[in-house]
Amino acid sequence: MSKTRLAVLGLAALLLAGCGPVHPGAAAVVGDTRIPMSDVDDVASVYCVASKQQAQQGGAGSVDSAALRRQSLADLLVGEIADQIAQERDLTIEVPALTAEDKAQLEQMFGDQVDEAVKLVERNQRTSAIALELGREAAPAGTDEEQLVQAGQQLLAQQIAEFDVSVDPRFGLDETIQQVSESGSLSVPGGELDATAIEDRPQALQCT
């Protein structure tokens, strides 16, 4: 799998939002669109597998499940808002299909979770493609593709504040999606930042 394809598994970090009421069973709401807890769980499970493999290769210990869940929700929010922007602007978004080799490598990495992994890769590819188109609208001619994506991501981040976004506060994020607690789990209450080593935390806070 190419570096570009692998990069779509990278974590999104461009999100501004306001806290508000969240529909029951939803991790967040963007306008009239709900992001279910189940979607966050699916994305987090893929990131958990990838993070554990990376940690094992680097000789690290356990992976923080709370951080993965927070980032999973951020990814889903950014993707949904990017889709709404693309629809509003009537952008034509073309995303290259994963090859059989790509899917085989994903299956080798993720096993029974390959379907969730493929969905995540395709979703993140689409978000990057939308950012690319936004960058093309604003960047000068001759700008390379990587810079266009970065420019588009900045434009996307600037426009996110214009959307009606509500986030379940139990994800440990404030109204600007800055981390204010180490919870990230619906079974563990939020509070002050916990400096306990990941491997010493309750099992509910570990990526297993």
Tokens of 43: 């994305």
Confidence of residue 88 (pLDDT cuts 50, 70, 90): very high
Q: Is residue 1 part of a domain?
A: no
Q: What is the mean pLDDT of residues 113-134?
A: 94
Does 13 fall in a domain?
A: no
Q: Measure CA 133 to chain center.
A: 19
Q: How far apart are CA 201 and CA 199, in angstroms?
A: 6
- For residue 8, being part of any structural domain is answered with no
DSSP per residue, 109-150: HHGGGHHHHHHHHHHHHHHHHHHHHHHHHHSPTT--HHHHHH
Which pLDDT band, with edges at 50, 70 and 90, does 90 fall under?
very high
Q: Is residue 10 part of a domain?
A: no
Q: Look at residues 81, 176, 69 and name the one whose alpha carbon lies nearest to residue 130.
A: 81
Structural domain contains residue 137:
yes
When mean pLDDT is compared across 88-92, 131-135, 144-148, 184-188, the lowest value belongs to 184-188
Average pLDDT, the chain: 76
Task: List pLDDT tens digits, range 24-68.
Answer: 678 988 889 999 999 999 999 999 999 888 877 776 666 788 889
| pLDDT over 80 at 14, yes or no | no
Place of tokens 């602007």: 89
First to last CA, the chain: 26
Domain encompassing residue 131: 19-207
Provide the domain count of the chain.
1
